[in-house]
Amino acid sequence: MRVELIAHTPEPELTVARAARLCYSSADYKTISAKIVKERAQQFVRQLIQVGHLSAIEHASFTFLIEGVSRAMTHQLVRHRLASYSQQSQRYVSHQARKSGGQFPYIIPPSVIKADMKEWFEEKMRQIQNWYDELCEKLQAIGLEGEDVYQDARYILPNATQTRIMVTMNARELRHFFSLRCCNRAQWEIRSVAIEMLKKVKTVAPSLFEDAGPPCLRGPCPEGHRSCGKAEQVRSFFKSL
CB-CB contact of 58 with 168 (8 Å): no
The DSSP string of 158-191 is -TTBEEEEEEEEEHHHHHHHHHHHSSTTS-HHHH
Compute the CA torsion angle 193, 199, 204, 208 (nearest 10 deg). Answer: 90
Q: Is 181 an annotated catalytic residue? A: yes
CA–CA gap between residue 221 and residue 227 (Å, rounded): 7
| Residue of 44, 38, 74, 72 whose CA lies nearest to 57 | 44
C-beta separation of 64 from 196 below 8 A: no
**Overall size of the chain counted in residues:** 241
Cα separation, 39 vs 48, in Å, equals 15
Q: Which of 154, 181, 185, 226 is catalytic?
A: 181
Residues that are catalytic: 181
